[in-house]
């Protein structure tokens, strides 16, 4: 061990250390080269190079190109029209009816009077069915006795979509008391007799519906 750490000989100690350094460098180079040659060989289990998923291979002559050239299909349009696309109902497809819950009322029984609006067309359309657009008028012969507009004239328009065949109706309980525009108080009660009810939606009016008060 002493001769390794403290070399002896005719030459100075530095010369022996230089020789040993050169020899050690050669050994290290040989060992490193062996490991490099072993590591550079192709490993049998190494995975083959991967093809990027973003690349699209060219179709072979026997393959149709429809899959790559066909445009992306767009979503089909909804068969239900949006409210913005629905037009106003023409009077020709609107049916207005005046309805009563009975044709004869005993004394003291309050009639239920109804205005009915039906879309008789084949497509949906918009119609004003607000209180201001609707009215019921009760008449005795040619005398106007009561109107829903006298005490409840309504306000702003209420436009809604009516589907084909859809019916909108509004019913009131008539107190059997007469009325006048402006709804003044102290109006007399309706007398016994044969009355008619007419319903209105905008400018359309129903045929008169008869009923009797006893």
pLDDT above 90 (res 42): no
- Across the range 208-213, mean pLDDT stands at 98
Backbone region of residue 33 per phi and psi (left: phi > 0; alpha: psi in -120 to 50; beta: other values): alpha
pTM of the entire predicted model = 0.61
Q: How do residues 121-167 score in pLDDT, each as one tens digit?
A: 999 999 999 999 999 999 999 999 999 999 988 888 999 999 999 99
Q: How do residues 159-203 score in pLDDT, each as one tens digit?
A: 999 999 999 999 999 999 999 999 999 999 999 999 999 999 999
* Spatial separation of the C-alpha atoms in residues 48 and 8, rounded to whole Å: 59
Q: What is the pLDDT of residue 23?
A: 56
State what percent of residues in the chain have pLDDT above 70.
Answer: 61
**pLDDT higher for 194 or 47?**
194
- Across the range 69-81, mean pLDDT stands at 36
Q: Which two tokens stand for residue 106?
A: 């005993």
Asked whether 117 and 95 are in contact (CB, 8 A), the reply is yes
pLDDT above 50 (res 71): no
Asked whether 180 and 187 are in contact (CB, 8 A), the reply is yes
Asked whether 193 and 213 are in contact (CB, 8 A), the reply is yes
Q: What is the pLDDT of residue 81?
A: 52
3-state secondary structure of 144: strand
Band of residue 85 on the pLDDT scale cut at 50, 70, 90: confident
Q: Going by DSSP bridges, is the β-strand pair 104-105/209-213 parallel, antiparallel, or unpaired?
A: parallel
Q: What is the pLDDT of residue 153?
A: 86
Asked whether 158 and 189 are in contact (CB, 8 A), the reply is no
Where does the chain have alpha helices with state H? 2-5, 13-39, 66-69, 148-151
**pLDDT higher for 110 or 75?**
110
Q: What is the pLDDT of residue 14?
A: 52
Q: How do residues 104-118 score in pLDDT, each as one tens digit?
A: 999 999 999 999 999
Q: Going by DSSP bridges, is the β-strand pair 159-162/209-213 parallel, antiparallel, or unpaired?
A: unpaired
* Spatial separation of the C-alpha atoms in residues 173 and 180, rounded to whole Å: 17
Helices and strands (H and E) in the chain: how many? 4, 11
**Four-residue CA torsion sign, 196, 201, 202, 207:** negative
Q: How do residues 12-41 score in pLDDT, each as one tens digit?
A: 555 544 555 545 555 555 555 554 444 444
Q: What is the pLDDT of residue 20?
A: 55
């Amino acid at each position: 061990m002493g001769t390794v750490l403290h070399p002896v000989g005719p030459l100075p100690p530095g010369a022996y250390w230089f020789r040993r350094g050169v020899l050690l460098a050669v050994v290290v180079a040989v060992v490193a080269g062996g490991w490099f040659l072993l590591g550079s060989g192709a490993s049998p289990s190494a995975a083959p190079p991967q093809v990027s998923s973003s690349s699209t291979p060219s179709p072979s002559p026997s393959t149709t190109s429809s899959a790559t050239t066909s445009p992306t299909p767009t979503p089909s349009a909804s068969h239900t029209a949006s409210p913005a696309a629905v037009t106003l109902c023409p009077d020709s497809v609107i049916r207005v009816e005046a309805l009563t819950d009975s044709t004869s009322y005993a004394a003291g029984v309050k009639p239920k009077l109804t205005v009915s609006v039906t879309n008789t067309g084949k497509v949906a359309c918009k119609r004003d069915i607000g209180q201001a657009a609707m009215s019921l008028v009760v008449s005795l012969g040619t005398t106007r006795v009561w109107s829903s507009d006298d005490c409840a004239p309504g306000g702003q328009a209420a436009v809604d979509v009516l589907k084909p065949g859809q019916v909108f109706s509004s019913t009131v309980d008539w107190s059997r008391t007469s009325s006048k525009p402006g709804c003044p108080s102290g109006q007399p009660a309706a007398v016994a007799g044969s009355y008619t009810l007419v319903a209105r939606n905008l400018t359309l009016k129903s045929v008169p519906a008869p009923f009797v008060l006893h």
